[in-house]
Amino acid sequence: MSESNGVLVRVENVEKNFQRGSEKVHVLSGLNLEVPDGTFLALMGPSGSGKSTLLNLIGGLDRPTTGSVEVGGDRIDKLSGRQLAAWRARHIGFIFQFYNLLPVLTAERNVELPLLLTHLSKSERRKHVETALDVVGLSHRTRHYPRQLSGGEQQRVGIARAIVTDPTLLLCDEPTGDLDRKSGDDILELLQALNRDHGKTIVMVTHDPHASARASHTVYLDKGQLSLEPPE
């Protein structure tokens, strides 16, 4: 991956509008953001501020109306839908607020899902899955279905699924939003460890100051603009 000055994510002059009925809604207006490689960035802001929209743009789930989004040197706003899907499979690991595990699959098969898009053999896939579950500390519950796991455990499976392909960037959308304080802390520690020990770059959307305190950097999003200070 060609990295320019150690900056992994570069968002430049991004504008994002939605059409809601006859009304045009400006969510992001002329936004700029750089995320250096190896950062654990918390993205804070009130609901409706455009946090998730920004996360989706960085993760290649959505395209900006204008402006450019560059991740690891790739202009992802220029990629086609098909290229984007392949790009996501290689570079992005998503972690969701509600875990979004497939209820019909066991923990290990949930983790295996992204590996199905690679050319790895069955035994290689199993090895990767074992490693990922080991990292999140769930080696003992691999055969359980999501409904048999607690919220914290489900989120660990979600994290294992996100890291199993060894992606460039981890994107978390309110990863602790549905958890109690204790489980939330465990998850945050796990994310910190991934950042610290495995060098993962993480962008985490949250509105919980307790969560953002664990990040190495925090930015605030309000009314479509970023700032380094929390809004009044």
Binding positions for another protein, rule: CB under 8 A: 52-53, 56, 59, 61-62, 81-82, 85-90, 92, 94, 96-98, 100, 102-105, 109, 113-114, 116-117, 122, 161
Contact (Cβ atoms closer than 8 angstroms) between residue 58 and residue 11: yes
User: 67: phi > 0 → left, psi -120 to 50 → alpha, else beta; which?
Assistant: left
State in angstroms the smallest separation of the CB of 202 from another protein: 16
State in angstroms the smallest separation of the CB of 228 from another protein: 27
Under 8 Å CB-to-CB from 137, ≥6 apart: which residues?
156, 190
State in angstroms the smallest separation of the CB of 93 from another protein: 9
Q: What amino acid occupies position 63?
A: R
State in angstroms the smallest separation of the CB of 89 from another protein: 3
State in angstroms the smallest separation of the CB of 153 from another protein: 18
Nearer to another protein among residue 5 and residue 80 (C-beta): 80
State in angstroms the smallest separation of the CB of 5 from another protein: 27
Structural element, H or E, at residue 111? helix 107-112
Nearer to another protein among residue 5 and residue 19 (C-beta): 19
Nearer to another protein among residue 53 and residue 155 (C-beta): 53
Q: Kindly tell me the sign of the dihedral angle through the C-alpha atoms of 195, 88, 206, 151.
A: negative
The CA–CA distances, whole Å, from 216 to 67, 100, 112, 136 equal 27, 26, 30, 21
Nearer to another protein among residue 7 and residue 86 (C-beta): 86
Structural element, H or E, at residue 86? helix 81-91
Nearer to another protein among residue 178 and residue 222 (C-beta): 178
Nearer to another protein among residue 5 and residue 81 (C-beta): 81
Q: To 5 degrees, how large is the angle CA 51–CA 52–CA 53?
A: 90
Nearest-angstrom CA–CA distance, 28 and 7: 21
Contact (Cβ atoms closer than 8 angstroms) between residue 164 and residue 128: yes
